[in-house]
Amino acid sequence: MDEPVLLTGAGGAVGEAILNGIGTEYYWRLMFHSPPVENPNHEYVVGDVANDEDVAEAMDGVGAVIHLAGDPRPEAPWSSVLTNNIDGTQRMYEAALDEGVDRFIYASSNHAVGAYEDERKPDLYRPHDEYQLDGTELPRPSNLYGVSKAAGEVLGRYYHDTHDIDVCNIRIGNLTKGHPPIDYERGQAMWLSYRDCAHIHECALEADYDFEIVYGISDNDRKYYSIERAKEVLGYEPQDNSAHFEGEKRVVEPDA
């Protein structure tokens, strides 16, 4: 890809994982909500996805978008998710359309389908349970943040159908740096390692597709999110598995 890839929300954990894993593979334009503490090794802008001028500046001349920006708090109030997650995503799509960008990768979330767990937990977190979501199910958000992520997926459906933008919605699981959460069954079942996070986004940049909803988790022994669609359509080949860390203990560094 000759044009820059716009990465919004570049200062968050998903942005860190992507840049650590495939940062040298593309020409990036990073968008931060607040000035970064250290200057990144890539072109960047500081702006707000709720501001049309900021979004237009960030989108200028790019070839693809990975949209991570928004309020990531599961407990975020409606006023925030409406402004930052829903309106902000719609602004991003409109700017992409104005700029002629034809590939939009959207960071959705496990919270868009969190309510499917209510009647099945804790069994669905355990290896003997075969229940899986595969991305064809309707959203069942577990909070208003999840509602905003489901809305972002529907916006992608609209912009694909109406304007022929290629859209990949990645329902990101439990991203952690290093070990998965050893003593947390749900976190292990939906664990996504940093390198698998970078890899699935690289696949989404390179693969041939129209509109997709896939799950972004590692190849864990127990998973209630299917990654078969990500493998089939994107060519996703995850390398990590939360079960490989069973019995290990996290090392907690003492406070400085």
- Which residues are identified as catalytic? 145
Beta bridge partners of 167: 104, 211
Which pairs count as long-range contacts for 239-242, CB under 8 Å and 24+ apart, including other chains?
239/193, 239/195, 239/196, 239/199, 240/191, 240/193, 240/195, 240/196, 242/180, 242/188, 242/189, 242/191, 242/218
* Sequence-ordered list of residues with C-beta below 8 angstroms from that of 67, at least 6 positions apart, any chain: 8, 9, 89, 92, 104, 105, 106, 107
- Distance between alpha carbon 42 and the CA centroid of its chain, in Å? 20
- Residue 135 CA to residue 178 CA, distance in Å, equals 27
Residue with the two structure tokens 């991003």: 92
Residue pair 170/203 in contact (Cβ under 8 Å)? The answer is no
- Residue 18 CA to residue 250 CA, distance in Å, equals 24
- SS3 of residue 65 by DSSP: strand
Type of residue at 50: A
- Residue 63 CA to residue 206 CA, distance in Å, equals 12
Give the number of other Cβ atoms within 10 Å of residue 98's Cβ: 12
